[in-house]
Amino acid sequence: MKRHISLFILFAIISSACSRLELVPISQKSTGGFYKTETHINQALIGAYNGLRSAWVTSQGSYMLTEARSDNTFQGQAYNDGPISRFEVTPDLPILNTVWSSYYNYIQRCNEILEALGDVAMSDEARRQYEGEARFLRGLFYFDLVRLFGAVPLVTNTLTIDESYKMTRSSVEEVYKQIESDLAIAADYLPANHDTDNTGRATTWAARGYLGKVYLFMSGYPLGANRWEDAGKRFKEVIDAGVFEFFTDYAAIYDHGNESGKQQVFSIPFVSGQNGNGNPYPTRNASNDVAPVSFAEGGVPFGGSPFNLFLSNDIVEAYEPGDLRKDVSILFSWRHKSGETITTLPTARKYQNGPVVQANDWDIDWIALSYTDVLMMYAEVLNEQGYQSGGEAFSILNDVRQRAGLEPRTAADVPNQEAFRRWVEAERRVEFAFENLRWFDLVRTDRAVDVMSDFLSEYGLEGNVKSKDQYIYPIPQAVLNITPQLGQNPGY
């Protein structure tokens, strides 16, 4: 996917640049006459999808602000993810400004597409699909922003430079209302499937699945909005569609041969050997010291990365004995560059499957929303609506356990609603390890302070977890320098 649009709203431009840029005011919609045909709209949408790919996979921020914040990893060094991992974040941490600026750039792309749609000749069917896709993407970008920074500026139209200077923050409730609206429209407008030439584009099932996930988060911290019924309805629509399949082999979910298959509700496509369109995840999360040799020789093709995740002992010990997910997700024995075999420093293994032509260039798609995730969130919804011993929620989680080679659990093991919540938490952690879900799960269940305080006590840093203010990040200082009226988040 190539980038075709590069207009930023003001605080995205200036916070990432050293000097003022000369730009045509965005309100004039002058992109050099770009939006004239349906092809232009489609190209712009591809650019917006590329933004999602960058936000969730290719950028360092994708794991630094999520996985590195959780108890799955620990970084003791002074890199960007070091302060994040140790709960020592300050507003001038560079990655915060990078993420903020990038997301508003991506949102701007969506806004431009939505405003241009009415002026371009195309069929009503195509117009609905393009609007659905732009709203789907904008909804997901705001879903990340509100979870990362809390109340943020809500920009749903293109702005002039002067208007950008005057932006204020919308409440968390207002941002979620916009996300809900965007995804609901997307669910109505998007098709049920695409042909093979359009694999990776959003479908109605992706929109419905994410809308259910948004309702799930709205029901948790900080809103406590009790949208469990709405969440369950959307998840059930995906489940009852008959389009997806619960694989009986956990490793098969991440197999290159099953890309865009029935286990994936929405995925981000990658192709190696095509001008940087490969997936960097498998290389980036492998140890920097792993030998650049084949798997058969004990290494990882083209080696690892200095930006790799440092796995915590906590996540290694979180797997029950015999859990088949453990060896799919973690590499316990690997060959060092020196030739020595390392068995005391586990490293991430997940997604190391598929063709690779050079470092950071793997032909393996990123599963953004898996069918298993939908099922497990549905089980969580059922429990929140009322604990039922041995009911459907039990069946869903026991299917997940049995696929992992573990014994099913009964009401004797999980006797009440609170025990079921902890079961969900534990199962999701190992099922989706290193997929950037753990931190958000801890926040929405209001468990992050307790869990992370206990985790950091292993390093003598439990005092760094001070309050729920740290559930979100500070507004980047570079942004406040330009738009001080936004104000800083409490605790920073």
Residue 82 belongs to domain with CATH number: 1.25.40.890
User: How far is the C-alpha of 307 from the C-alpha of 48, rounded, in Å?
Assistant: 26
User: β-strands 264-268, 366-370: how paired?
Assistant: antiparallel
Q: Does the pLDDT at position 13 exceed 50? A: no
Predicted pLDDT at 173: 98
3 assigned to some structural domain: yes
148 and 292 together in one domain: no
Residue 492, in any domain of the structure? yes
Identify the band that residue 33 occupies on the pLDDT scale cut at 50, 70 and 90.
low
Domain containing residue 27: 1-190+462-492
Q: Are residues 309 and 163 in the same domain?
A: no
Q: Is residue 36 part of a domain?
A: yes
pLDDT for the residue numbered 4? 28
Q: Is pLDDT at 94 greater than 50 in this prediction?
A: yes
CA 97 to the chain's CA centroid: 18
pLDDT for residue 6: 28
* The token pair that represents 174 in the structure block: 């207002």
Residue 66 lies in a domain: yes
- Asked whether residue 176 falls in the same domain as residue 301, the answer is no
Does any domain span residue 172?
yes
Question: Model confidence at 27, in pLDDT bands (50, 70, 90)?
Answer: very low
pLDDT mean across residues, the chain: 91
The count of domains in the chain is 2
Local structure of residue 432 (DSSP, 8 states): T
pLDDT above 50 (res 97): yes
pLDDT in the model for residue 135: 98
pLDDT at 136 over 60: yes
The three-point CA angle 297-301-306 to 5° equals 115
Query: At which residue do the structure tokens 């009401």 appear?
Result: 411
Least confidently predicted of 179-188, 286-295, 373-382, 446-455: 286-295
3-state secondary structure of 447: coil
Q: Residue 450: its pLDDT value, please?
A: 98
pLDDT at 437: 98
Structure-token pair, residue 324: 């088949």
Q: What's the angle, vertex CA 318, arms to CA 316 and CA 321, rounded to 5?
A: 90
Quote the strand ranges of 300-442, DSSP E. 330-331, 334-335, 341-342, 347-348, 356-358, 361-362, 366-370
Given a cut of 60, whether residue 213 has pLDDT beyond it is yes
Banded pLDDT at 3 (limits 50, 70, 90)? very low
Average pLDDT over residues 300-328: 95
Does residue 3 sit in the same domain as residue 140?
yes
> Of 364, 382, 417, which marks where a domain is finished?
364
Provide CB contacts within 8 A for 324, sequence distance 6+.
250, 251, 403, 404, 405
Cis peptide before 355 (omega within 30 of 0): no
pLDDT given for residue 77 in this prediction: 78
Whether 52 is covered by a domain: the verdict is: yes
Check pLDDT > 70 for residue 249.
yes
**The pLDDT value given to residue 31:** 53
Residue 98 pLDDT > 70:
yes
Q: Within a domain: residue 79?
A: yes
372-408 pLDDT, tens digit per residue, is 999 999 999 999 999 999 999 999 999 999 999 999 9
Q: Is the pLDDT of residue 253 over 90?
A: yes
Span 102-134, pLDDT tens digits: 999 999 999 999 999 999 999 999 999 999 999
Can you give the pLDDT at residue 281? 92
- The CA distances from residue 337 to 169, 287, 289, 299, 491, in Å, are 49, 10, 6, 9, 43
The amino acid at residue 307 is F
433-468 pLDDT, tens digit each: 999 999 999 999 999 999 999 999 999 999 999 999
pLDDT score for 164: 81
Is position 223 within any domain?
A: no
Structure tokens at 111: 């806004």
Q: What angle do CA 73, 50, 440 make, to 5 degrees?
A: 30
The pLDDT, as a whole number, for residue 162 is: 83
φ, ψ for residue 358, nearest 5 deg: -165, 170
